[in-house]
Amino acid sequence: MSSLIPLQNCKYLVVEILHDNNLVLEKITLNSLNIRIESTENFVEILDFLLVFTGKIYVFDAKILYKIILKNYKMIEASTLNFLDISMAKSLSDLSTAQQIQKSFDNQAFGELIDILEKSLPERISMLWQSTESPLTYILAKVELNGVFINQRALIDIQTELSENIITLEISILDLLKTDLNINSTKQLGQALIQKGYKLGKKGKSGNISTDRAILETLLEDDEIGLIKQILEHRTYIKLHSGFVKPILDLLDKQTSRIHTTFDQTIVPTGRISSNSPNLQNIPIKNDIYGKKIRACFTAESGNLFVGADYSQAELRFLAHFTQDETLLEIFKSGQDVHIRTAAEIFEVAITEVTKSQRRVGKTLNFALLYQQGTFGTAKQLGITVKEAQGLIDRYFARFTKVKPFIEDTLFKAANDGYVETYSGRRRYFTNLKSSNYFLKTLDQRAAFNAVLQGSNADIIKLAMLGLENRFKQEGVNYKLVLQVHDELVIEVFKNDAEMAKKILKEEMELGQPLYVPLEVDVGIGNNWSELK
């Protein structure tokens, strides 16, 4: 197209697109300084021009444009298009800069926009944006288009089983209550339970009767007729049915039997990738009976296998890395069970003498520290007094001497800077770290410390996803990344390539071991998601 000639020597392009719900491109606009070229046709020529353009190419939602190209313009080598995603830069910025980015884009003040993107982003943020978050949009575009095959028949059977369980439990619960009510109404259920003699707490300023899981679980021990147990089971089945099974079946591509979720890099403030339509991130864990059944419905197609890998205790390993605590470093370098060793330190016993209940205490404390759960929450979880919980926490800090100073230093710096940083330099900003309101301040402190560890975990899985793409291309192995769930990646490969893919996946997720302690990666091969171990 001759109209593109004026753009050849430009330093940058800002690309705008219009498309329909089926990812069919309707209009593409190229902007640079005072040049603006719009077109509702000749899309192949325009995309070819982008391939050879030597300047920087900015797109507000690069993932969508990548998906359009991958789906409809397969003659274009999308992987060579290094789009810089403006929405990613916005999500990585502080509030003021994010507002400036959005305003300049909306006003089509592209010179101002580029100036902000080139000069206003801190160095590490700019590097994270250009080398990780923007390239990742291409990877996620491919994952979304890949989808994952679902065994419809098996999932429909699970749906039927859950529906039958729900109906059976409703009949039994109403029979035990000796009344007719809407079991899903918290108010009605609470009143009925009180009439049966159960002691329930209050919830909120309204004083409404609380029937949440935490309250009901306190009643299990004295639940002679099994009513509370059945109510909890009923809620579990309702959640499984309406929260997981039904959405997957509703959104399934009936022709291909593949589910295509949408991944988002900007929703979770720690940097974790989230998914929606449907949400595949919260499917119950492998040791849950229905979690196993549902995961078993995610299958490799005929002739293929799944290869999956996940990080083992990555956040605790980052705690060791950041604190440089000698005991934590020793635990992970020697391959010890961190929860057993924690229990041994706290209870001052040999590792071989740690009981299951003591290990549970060690595990609870480890995660209580990660998530800044506090004394009250720890006491509640362990079923002990607040004083006893405080004693355990004090002993933890006495044995892991560099953890408490690290927490205090992190929160002190965050209060002064207004943000915390992850391993790759991602910032999460906070406004209440100096608040006089204790509740708001404590909430931000907990979120701030957790953001350092969870955000660092998110950093490394993104780096691994980028590494996989390059490595498989180098090795000449065909693969599809089909699932990303928190610490876990699942790929689909030909059966003959499974062992090599397992090796590549493990090595790329280890990232060349960049931490002071080893990143441990558990890898497995299976016909379905549930079989991966």
Q: What is the mean pLDDT of each run of 10 residues along the chain (533 residues)?
A: 86 97 96 93 95 96 98 94 97 97 96 96 98 98 98 98 96 92 89 86 65 84 88 94 96 96 96 95 80 96 98 97 98 97 97 96 94 90 94 97 98 98 98 96 96 97 97 96 96 98 98 96 98 86
Name the CA radius of gyration of the chain, rounded: 26
In a 13 Å sphere around the CA of 434, the CA atoms on its Cβ side amount to: 10
User: What was the pLDDT predicted at 197?
Assistant: 85
Please indicate, yes or no, whether residues 53 and 138 belong to a single structural domain of this protein.
yes
Tokens of 422: 């992850």
Asked if residue 319 belongs to a domain, the reply is no
In a domain, 396, yes or no: yes
In this structure, the answer to whether residues 13 and 90 fall within a common structural domain is yes
Question: Is the peptide bond prior to 6 cis by the omega test (within 30 degrees of 0)?
Answer: no
- The pLDDT of residue 207: 64
Q: What is the pLDDT of residue 209?
A: 79
Based on the fold, state whether residues 228 and 275 are members of the same structural domain: no
Q: What is the pLDDT of residue 203?
A: 60
At residue 284, the 3 state secondary structure works out as: coil
Amino acid (1-letter code) at residue 270: T
- 350 and 426 share one domain: no
Residue 54's Cβ-side half-sphere holds a number of Cα atoms within 13 Å equal to 3
- Which CATH number belongs to the domain containing residue 142 in this structure? 3.30.420.10
Structural element, H or E, at residue 307? strand 304-311
Q: How many CB atoms lie within 10 A of CB 267?
A: 12
pLDDT value at residue 224: 80
Whether residues 302 and 333 fall in one domain: no
Last residue of a domain, one of 146, 162, 189: 146
Residue 222 placed within a domain: yes
In this prediction, residue 202 carries a pLDDT of 64
Phi-psi region of 341 (alpha: psi -120 to 50; beta: other; left: phi over 0): alpha
Domain assignment present for 320:
no
- Whether 100 is covered by a domain: the verdict is yes
Residue 123 lies in domain = 2-146
* pTM summary value: 0.93
Based on the fold, state whether residues 18 and 131 are members of the same structural domain.
yes
Rounded CA separation 62/58 (Å):
8
Establish if 257 belongs to a structural domain: no
- Does any domain span residue 174? yes
Angle at 329 between CA 326 and CA 334, to 5 degrees: 125
157: domain CATH number is: 1.20.1060.10
Task: Domain count for the chain, please give it.
Answer: 4
Name the 3-class secondary structure at 439: helix
